[in-house]
Amino acid sequence: MSLDINHRKEQQGKDASRPMNRCLSTAVLFLRWLDKGSYWGITLVMGMMVIIVSVQVVLRYLFGASIDSADELARLFFVWTIFLAIPHGIRHGAHVGIDLVISKLPSVVEEQLFRIMSLISMFLMIMLMMGAWQAILDRWPELMPTLPITSAVFYIVLLICAVHSILHLAVLVCGGSKVWEVLP
């Protein structure tokens, strides 16, 4: 297996000057920056979620008070946390799958299947992106029950998740399963 990876790394090195690979390297570089931005975005929304729920607990049990919009805001930040993190799960291979069948196939076939599955997943994300866009347009005039903010804000993160996932899946389709290990 490691020989196979080394061989692939060498091959990638030889092919580095090809326009396709230059394009892929640029895409990976761009995604690294995007992921970094998203990393801090996740930290922020997760932090806000923790603070709001904690403050609400402290206020309720120690001071007998509560913030009206705390529940809704916490849910908003929770939704943003989950959907911002899904593309990172694609990059880090965190989404669970069954490899019983494909692990028995020759590595070339396995790799091709991986790319096809990534392509189909990309199609799903494109459909999600279109649906999320429609949902944003539908919800834009509505306000959240306790805050003067459009309720479309819940769906904006779905759109971001879909676009970010499409980019990650496109890189996997073009570069294969080891693209994050091979490219600088």
Partner 1 sequence: MTLIAIGLFLVLALLGMPLAFAIGIGALAGVWFLDFDLVVLPQRMMHAVNSFPLMAIPLFMLAGELMVRAGIMDRLISFANSMVGRVHGGLAHVTITSGTIFASVSGAAVASASAMGSTLVPSMRKYYPDTYSSAVITAAANLGPVIPPSNAMIVYALMAGSSVSVGGLFLAGIVPGIILALSFMAIATWISWRRGYPLTGDKFNLRNVLQQARKAMVIILMPVIVVGGIVGGVFTATEGAAIAVIYSAFIGFFITKKLKITDLPICFFKAAVTSSMVGALIAFASVITFIFTIEMVPLMLSEFIQSLTSDPLTFILLTMVLLIIVGMLIESNAAYIMLVPLFAPVALIYGIDPLYFGFLFMYNLVVGMMTPPVGVLYFVMCGITKVPMTELIKESMPFVICQFMLLALCIAFPSIVTALPRLLGY
CA dihedral 48, 51, 53, 54 (to 10 degrees): 170
For the bound state, the minimum distance from the C-beta of residue 18 to partner 1, rounded and expressed in Å, comes to 27
Instruction: Tell me the per-residue interface mask from 52 to 71 with partner 1, x by CB under 8 A, - otherwise.
Output: -xx-xx--xx---------x
Q: What are phi and psi of 143, to 5 degrees?
A: -100, 155
Residue where the block lists tokens 């990059």? 91
Name the nearest CA neighbour of 24 among 106, 105, 115: 115
Distance CA 25, CA 128 (A): 27
Question: In the stretch 1-40, what mask flags binding to partner 1 with x, by CB under 8 A?
Answer: --------------------------------------xx
CB of 22 to partner 1, least distance (A): 29
Instruction: Please choose, out of 1-9, 24-32, 49-57, 142-150, the segment that lies near partner 1 by the rule CB under 8 A.
Output: 49-57
Residue from 13, 37, 47, 145 that binds partner 1 (CB under 8 A)? 47
* Member of 8, 9, 32, 75 binding partner 1 (CB under 8 A): 75
CA distances from 3 to 7, 22, 77 (A): 6, 25, 45
